[in-house]
Chains A and B, each alone.
Chain A
Amino acid sequence: EAGVVQSPRYKIIEKKQPVAFWCNPISGHNTLYWYRQNLGQGPELLIRYENEEAVDDSQLPKDRFSAERLKGVDSTLKIQPAELGDSAVYLCASNQGGGETEAFFGQGTRLTVV
């Protein structure tokens, strides 16, 4: 069974430019998460989806970040415009939701803003 797939693996952009990340969760997983992980830190939740509904986006900087999961499967996370402080690894994770289930993570997108 394929795991959580993310693309691209790496992205380097200049500040003020837009960038988008894509995630394909494990088949059948209703819950999808976007996390941001700064160097030397643990992942921090940005947004959680239950199917196509964003149920927790309290940590998402809404002035520049947006996310969507239109059909309740794949998801995209966008930053526009990017700032130097956005350099981090953006991790997507999924699980079946509804209980004490572990989250399965993708390999992440390492973003460098120069």
Chain B
Amino acid sequence: GQNIDQPTEMTATEGAIVQINCTYQTSGFNGLFWYQQHAGEAPTFLSYNVLDGLEEKGRFSSFLSRSKGYSYLLLKELQMKDSASYLCAVPSGGYNKLIFGAGTRLAVHP
């Protein structure tokens, strides 16, 4: 089966950098997704990693280590609008079923 762990809450200051960690255990690895979810809104796709290393996309970067079962999402130059929940997810049963972590609620303060 799959098991995903993320911190429940984090706080950070506007303009700073924050790293949100995710550890996972999965019976077969088919990549790892990060989604952003603002309160009362739909989850929206941020990144997908299938190979080890860092992938950068603007202010957001995602890192994966398959041997360690570990990923992180790095948010730079934080803005107030980045206050949201960040969900780590891994596919199960092939590619078409996502198992989500509980999410990390990030609060960005001025």
Contact residue among B4, B31, B98, B103 (Cβ-Cβ distance under 8 Å from A45) = B98
Partner of A42, one of B30, B89, B93: B89
The answer to whether A104 touches B45 (Cβ under 8 A) is: yes
Interface residue total, chain B, C-beta cutoff 8 A: 27
B26 to chain A, nearest CB (A): 14
Contact of A43 with B102 in the complex, beta carbons under 8 Å:
no
Given the contacts A56-B93, A100-B30, A44 and B45 also touching, CB distance less than 8 Å? no
- Whether A41 pairs with B44 at a CB distance below 8 angstroms is no
> How far does the alpha carbon of A91 sit from the alpha carbon of B96 in the complex, in Å?
16
Chain B binding surface SS class: loop
| A105: interface (CB < 8 Å) | yes
Residue of A whose beta carbon sits closest to that of B31: A100
Q: How many residues of A contact B (CB 8 A)?
A: 27
Given A42-B87, A42-B102, A42-B103, A106-B97 contact (CB < 8 Å): no
Q: Hey, which chain B residues are within 8 Å of A100, CB to CB?
A: 30-31, 48, 50, 91, 95
Does the CB pair A43–B43 fall under 8 Å? yes
A99 touches B102 (CB 8 A): no
A 30-65 contacts with B by CB, 8 A:
31, 33, 40-45, 48, 50, 56
Complex CA distance for A102 and B82, rounded to whole angstroms: 21
Q: Would A101 and B95 count as touching, CB distance under 8 A?
A: yes
Q: Closest B residue to A95 by CB, please name it.
A: B96
- Please, how many angstroms separate the alpha-carbon atoms of A43 and B41 in the complex? 12
CB pair B30 A48 closer than 8 Å = no
CB pair A102–B45 under 8 Å, yes or no, is yes
A-B contact pairs, 14 of them (CB 8 A): A33-B98, A40-B8, A41-B102, A42-B89, A45-B98, A56-B97, A98-B95, A98-B96, A99-B95, A102-B48, A103-B98, A104-B45, A107-B41, A107-B42
